[in-house]
Structure 1
Amino acid sequence: MPTLRFPSVLDVSAQALYDWHARPGAFQRLTPPWAPVELAAFEGIGNGERAVIRLGYEPLALTWIAEHHGHQSGRQFCDRQVQGPFKQWNHQHCFEPISDTRSRLVDDITYELPLAPLSTALAPYVAEPELRRQFAYRHRITRHDLDRHRAYESAPKRIAISGSSGLVGRALVAFLRTGGHTVHRLVRRPATRPDEIMWNPSTGQVDAAALNGVDAVVHLAGENVFAPRWTDAKKARIFDSRARGTRLLADALASLNDPPSAFISASAVGAYGDRGDTSVTESDAPRTTDFLGEVCAAWEAATTPAEAAGIRTVHLRIGVVLAANGGALQVLAPLVQAGLGGTPGRGDAFVPWIALDDLLGTIHHALHSETLRGPVNATAPEPVQLRTLVDTLGTIFRRPTPWRIPQALIRALSGEAADAMALKSIRARPARLQEEGYAWAFDDLAFALRHTLGRTMHPHRPK
């Protein structure tokens, strides 16, 4: 029966390593973004407790039920398949102490595919490469998250998050919970769980009392700007969801007897407008010469009540988030992989990108830094030209990318949205984060892409 072992040494105690895995959110953090996996139910890691996982895309998804056993608090737990795609599966998670501040994470896998012995002969070519990619990713994420949490020695916080069902919000909730923080999700319906707080920007309702005593609020909610073409109705939703929603939340926070100490409100690098080759930082004035510039200006201005109430407010100007399971990369990567990838326009527009996991780290830093306030560019240190992004994807997938998509065709298909997103050049740099000494984990474009697309079997960044 095939066996695999994945060891890594980490600069945390075995107890801290175990605690991270035992907390809510660990499964979500360890799920590779390129894999179609959804956690349907999770009881815990104690003996007899189960996880129910959906594999693949509906309506053809398979159900995998794993039951935990062999639990030793602080040292190990195991899971075995009760129902699923393998003939047999057993996974032992071990947390071995090396010293008070170092430990070894070991994942031992024993499995058997259906149709043995033929499948056993094929396993090294079919199953093992994917398992090696997945566990390399899992170990990178474990190291990344533990390093981030270890960098801020503070008491666990109570944090409220809007937009918790979006790409960034889902990952942020899981990331914060594995760090021991209590997360309350703002939902647009009556709260039905202890971790939910009702708010509804459309009706102007928010349960302000439930926000009393939270340590911080992270505001990520907003209508998705991606659309084949912007209609007047779509533009109104984009604008109102940000300006009205942010003002509702800021007014509620300002009215509290025990307000949060920090309000981290999302914005976007679109605040700078099209700048061509000119490098811009937070000290450069925003521009409202296009629709997204107007949106960002209204978005940031809407936090004024919270700032006036003395709440430290950060306008996080987020760049293009790189994640295999959402955003621009979810569209672009499959096209390149299929050999259909092309560079929009001349390809010289600058893209201020950031890996999703570094965006989580940036938000985490903003939550803890008492000196950070006002506009903050949430981007990698070096923006790249669009042709570089496409060509790097081509290299990773081993596909040619010589094609150029004419600007006229893009504008004919997408109208105003084309100039606002696909053809705009924003050479934004994160000067404020650099001044604060923030250390990016994924500041190399090729490594960031390989990480999220599962195109490396290295459990850490190759030197």
Structure 2
Amino acid sequence: MNILMTGASGFIGTQLVSALAPLHQLTILSRDPLHASIKLGAKHRYLNSLDELNDLDTFDSVINLAGEPIASKRWTGKQRLAICESRWSITEQLSSLILKSATPPHTLISASAVGYYGNQEQNSVDESYQPSRTNRSEFTHQVCHRWEDGALKAKSEQTRVCIIRIGLVLGTHGGALAKMLPAFKLGLGGPIADGMQGMSWIHQTDLVNLFIHLLNHPDCEGVYNGCAPNPISNSLFTQALGQALNRPAFIPVPAFALKLILGEMSSLLIEGQYVLPKRTLASGFEFKYPELEAAFKQLFS
């Protein structure tokens, strides 16, 4: 397949490029094509703007991972705008190009996040859940809702759209887990707030495989949760992480301290969801790491 990718230089994008490259031709959108080619390889075609394309007639599929990291900086007004625009603008531009195409790509796979569901406390949700009015007022839902709407505009008889609502991705070289590891390796980790908030996680290998699964199954379309079938409380997650590293993990992090340090962004840690991948499993996808202990064992082996 000839595939157009955005966000290919990111934590997941880099791994997905490696998995797809042996069998497919990749065109990669990057703000810095030279840096991206050094990181990802010179054999791919690189674009620094979608304005270089009048349509997407030459592409079979599009994979959209573009987006400013949501937890990299405090949520100032400027950062909130960057988080939104980096997702909404490119996604809507891709959909517009697909609709302009005479022979459009047959597949668009676009990232989203479990933040779509908002804070669910101890409630379990799956892809069919519609957020409440309270949830719809939360920043993470608003980001994801318009992000997904932008992708769904590309849907037609010729183009199917798949959306992956991604949970906490487990990997040692990127994502939230990599940021947690230094403290836990020093024995300074522990539960956050009351530790009861849900953590819906997925091993990096399973997430990459899910993108490929949806790419290769033309009957798949709509929303799929990109998280393992066994979400866990923050308290049990930190306990399992400590055990995997053979370190104590009992130093609690109070909610008020996180709010002082991180501001509104602290909601990513204090609140959570127990998200179930009901449609993902129904599509025939098999998780290689459905259990947290096995996922940690592979990562730290």
Where in structure 1 are there 5+ consecutive unaligned residues? 1-156, 456-463
CA contact (8 A) 2:73 2:79 kept: no
CA contact (8 A) 1:198 1:207 kept: no
Q: CA deviation at 1:384?
A: 0.7
| Aligned residue identity for 1:285 | Q
Asked if 1:205 corresponds to 2:51, the answer is: yes
Q: CA deviation at 1:295?
A: 0.3
Asked if 1:268 corresponds to 2:113, the answer is: yes
1:185-196 map, 5 Å? 185-188=28-31, 195-196=44-45
CA contact (8 A) 1:208 1:252 kept: yes
Asked if 1:173 corresponds to 2:17, the answer is: yes
| Aligned residue identity for 2:27 | H
The correspondence for 2:261, drawn from 413, 418, 423, is: 413
Q: CA deviation at 1:226?
A: 1.2
Structure 1 residues 197 and 212, CA gap change in structure 2 (3 angstroms)? farther
**Identity across matched positions, percent:** 30
Asked if 1:160 corresponds to 2:7, the answer is: no
Report the Cα distance in structure 2 between the residues aligned to 1:445 and 1:190, rounded to whole angstroms: 36
Q: CA deviation at 1:432?
A: 0.6
CA contact (8 A) 1:320 1:354 kept: yes
TM-score, normalisation: structure 1: 0.61
Report the Cα distance in structure 2 between the residues aligned to 1:254 and 1:197, rounded to whole angstroms: 22
Structure 1 residues 424 and 278, CA gap change in structure 2 (3 angstroms)? same
Q: CA deviation at 1:198?
A: 2.2
1:205-224 map, 5 Å? 205-209=51-55, 211-224=56-69
Relative contact order, higher structure (CA 8 A, sep 6+)? 2
TM-score, normalisation: structure 2: 0.92
1:120 is matched with none
Encode CA deviations 1:232-280: one digit per residue, 9 max, x unaligned: 1000000111111100111112111221100000000100000111110
SS of the equivalent of 1:306 reads coil
CA contact (8 A) 1:306 1:313 kept: yes
In angstroms, what is the RMSD of aligned CA positions? Answer: 1.8
Q: CA deviation at 1:195?
A: 2.5
Structure 1 residues 208 and 167, CA gap change in structure 2 (3 angstroms)? farther
Q: CA deviation at 1:187?
A: 2.1
1:376-455 map, 5 Å? 376-419=224-267, 421-453=268-300, 455=301
User: 4+ residue stretches of structure 1 with deviation over 6 A?
Assistant: 190-194
Report the Cα distance in structure 2 between the residues aligned to 1:307 and 1:225, rounded to whole angstroms: 27
Report the Cα distance in structure 1 between the residues aligned to 2:93 and 2:2, rounded to whole angstroms: 20
Structure 1 residues 269 and 235, CA gap change in structure 2 (3 angstroms)? same
| Aligned residue identity for 2:28 | R
SS of the equivalent of 1:218 reads strand
Report the Cα distance in structure 1 between the residues aligned to 2:54 and 2:293, rounded to whole angstroms: 44
Where in structure 2 are there 5+ consecutive unaligned residues? none
Q: CA deviation at 1:228?
A: 4.7
Q: CA deviation at 1:160?
A: 1.5
SS of the equivalent of 1:275 reads coil
Q: CA deviation at 1:199?
A: 4.7
